[in-house]
Amino acid sequence: MQIDVAIFEDNKLIRDALVAILNGTHQYNCVGAFDNGKFWEEQLQRSKPDIVLMDIEMPGLDGIELTRLITQKFENIKVLIQTVFDDTGKIFHALCAGASGYILKTDPPHKYLEAITEVYNGGSFMNAGVARKTLSFFTNKNIMMMAPQSEKFNLTEREKEILQRLIESRSLRSIAESLFISLETVRTHVKHIYKKLHVANRTEAVMKAIQQGLV
């Protein structure tokens, strides 16, 4: 398995570091590194990435608008937002634009690789601390508010354990190893969790779990 990644990042030091990390790690490959989104469509058609690492703040088209355009034009390309902790409102808008999750620019290289792999495998990735801060933003702005529900979601103890680890931004492989079960078993439990919570992805599951006090 090789994961092809394109980078949109206007900071040259960060961009070069990400290129070095990807190309220096087995099974990851940087197929393009761009400092703005001016020629995004041509660049993606040429590089054909599986994942785009997207900076929110860029000259010209910002990362949020670029995420919206990419997810509309290229349904097979998934976008992972790079952000800083104070970008709470922008994180929300990026998720609404179709991003599959976000990684903090202060996170270590192995966390970047975990996030890329998670998104590549069909999951979502989010930092637990930012998720809680984003939830506070939703509350203050009356966005996506959900009152505590009397509905019983009937999560099993194992599903609650896995949901807690999802909130902690653990990868599916890490969850499997910590619970001494197979990766496929974790994926099955996650599907059941999504179904019971009536959500479509990790981001929604984590937000709902926090809002409803499920773990």
pLDDT digits (tens, 9 = 90+) for 92-128: 777 778 888 888 888 889 989 988 998 898 877 876 6
Sequence-ordered list of residues with C-beta below 8 angstroms from that of 68, at least 6 positions apart, any chain: 97, 98
Q: Is the same domain home to 152 and 133?
A: no
Average pLDDT, the chain: 84
Q: Is the pTM of this model over 0.85?
A: no
* Pair 165, 177: CB distance under 8 Å: no
Tell me how crowded residue 137 is: count the other CB atoms within 10 A of its CB.
Answer: 15
Instruction: Provide long-range contacts, Cβ within 8 A and 24+ apart, for 12-18.
Output: 14/55, 14/82, 14/105, 18/53, 18/112
Of 139, 171, 204, which residue sits at a domain end? 139
Beta strand 51-55 with 78-83 is parallel
Q: How is 144-160 classified by DSSP, letter by letter? A: S--PPP-------HHHH
CATH number of the domain encompassing residue 101: 3.40.50.2300
Coil/strand/helix, residue 5: strand
Which residue has tokens 């801060």?
133
Expressed as residue numbers, the domain containing 52 is: 3-139
Q: How confident is the model at residue 138 (pLDDT cuts 50, 70, 90)?
A: low
Q: Is the same domain home to 12 and 109?
A: yes
CATH number of the domain encompassing residue 171: 1.10.10.10
* Count of structural domains within the chain: 2
Of 139, 167, 183, which residue sits at a domain end? 139
| Token reading at 127 | 């930092």
17 pLDDT more than 70? yes
Q: Is the same domain home to 108 and 205?
A: no
Instruction: Provide long-range contacts, Cβ within 8 A and 24+ apart, for 14-21.
Output: 14/55, 14/82, 14/105, 18/53, 18/112, 21/109, 21/112, 21/113
| Token reading at 22 | 């990807």
